[in-house]
A and B are shown apart, each in its own frame.
Chain A
Amino acid sequence: MTLVFTGICSHGPGITGRADLAPPDLRDPFFAAYGAMRDALHAARPDAVIIVAAEHFANFFMNNMPSFAIGMADGYEGPIEDPDWLKIPRRRVRGDAALSQRIVAEVQQSVDVAYAEEWKFDHGIMVPLSFLDPDNRLTIIPANINCQGPPLAPLARAYAFGEALRRAADKVPERIALIGTGGISHWPATPDSGRINEEWDREFLRRWSLNDKAQLLDYTDAQTYADAGQGGFEIRTLIAAAAAARGPGTVHFFAPIPIFSTGCFVATAEIA
């Protein structure tokens, strides 16, 4: 049946790992927005949630780097990071290999996606999950867009991946939700951590909310690197989510929170 929910949110490891260092007047409404998305996601009663993430070398490396990949296992483990550092305990997350297989087969009609029967989650999935599924109840299908090891797939291909995921979600009888997670502007894991281009972020979120394909794709990686840092390459996941939803979006929360190393956001999109 048709896709039942689409949202996007931040995933920086500092959000959980350094939560105690953030100003409560910014952190608390941000976490409340995650909580509202959790309630909306569960209210949509998804049989499975596709999380389109930009992983950070938890599974894929430059020895064999897929532009797009989908997990195809009955379970996944994460986080790979030191649990005390991320402040998220290790857990096994339920998957559904058979459902993944049907989704991959449909996605392959238009995107040459890689599949992986082994997949470990890093903060890119575990931080959102810690808010969206604290009781570990959901069935998760991880999807990844290479945003780390250039050359990266063009934005138009990320959009096409989102379209393919939507087609696949609509084709299977299960109720499928989709979450896109990545940064907007940020310079993570460098001495620049905390640098945020708020103006760039607000403009991107404006384009995302309009869900205007031409405007969403009107970035080059060179511009993004200069204006939004290497973390800005992760807009691919957000663009894929917009392509899957097709409808306009609503930004429920946005604020730069430097100790989290990113502009923090929670948004949902109408399924059209």
Chain B
Amino acid sequence: MSLYQLSKLLFELNRDTAIQAEFTADAGSVVARYDLDDEERRAILDADIGLLYVLGVNGQILMHFAAFKQIAWADYLQLMRDGVRDHGPVRAGVYAMTTGLDEKVAGV
């Protein structure tokens, strides 16, 4: 597992419009520059917010990526809940889920 590499990819993507343009045109070429395992590569290429969350990507990095992917706020929150339901608890980091799968504390 290479959470650091996965997070670094998202960090660099989130802050650089040139990398964003490259990613939009050919995500594979951007992803190839990072040392990822198959699950991580699939998660990023599929923009699988739930899996990225469970893998332990810092929520701030993930939130900005979701915004880049034009994912609405309520959908972003639900995709993370779905990820925990499908893949189990967050595996690393400090952004673990502390509420229930059906709990929506802000109503969304």
B-side contacts of A194, CB under 8 Å: 104-108
Whether A192 contacts B97 by the Cβ 8 Å rule is yes
Residues B73-108 near A (CB distance < 8 A): 73, 77, 80-81, 84, 94-99, 103-108
Whether A189 contacts B95 by the Cβ 8 Å rule is yes
Distance between Cα atoms of A80 and B68 in the complex (Å)? 10
Distance between Cα atoms of A194 and B107 in the complex (Å)? 8
Distance between Cα atoms of A258 and B74 in the complex (Å)? 13
Tell me whether A191 is interfacial, beta carbon within 8 Å: yes
Distance between Cα atoms of A60 and B94 in the complex (Å)? 17
What total count of A-B pairs have CB within 8 Å?
A: 94
B-side contacts of A57, CB under 8 Å: 11, 14-15, 58, 60-61, 64
Interface size class of B (residues with CB under 8 A): 20 to 34
Whether A80 contacts B15 by the Cβ 8 Å rule is yes
Q: What's the minimum C-beta distance from A16 to chain B, rounded to whole angstroms? A: 12
Interface size on A (CB < 8 Å)?
Answer: 37
A-side contacts of B59, CB under 8 Å: 188-190, 230
Tell me whether A81 is interfacial, beta carbon within 8 Å: yes
Whether B73 contacts A82 by the Cβ 8 Å rule is no
* Chain A 211-228 interface mask (CB, 8 Å, partner B; 1/0): 000000000000001000
Please judge, given known A-B contacts A189-B95, A195-B99, whether A148 and B60 are in contact too, CB under 8 Å. Answer: yes
B-side contacts of A82, CB under 8 Å: 67-68, 70
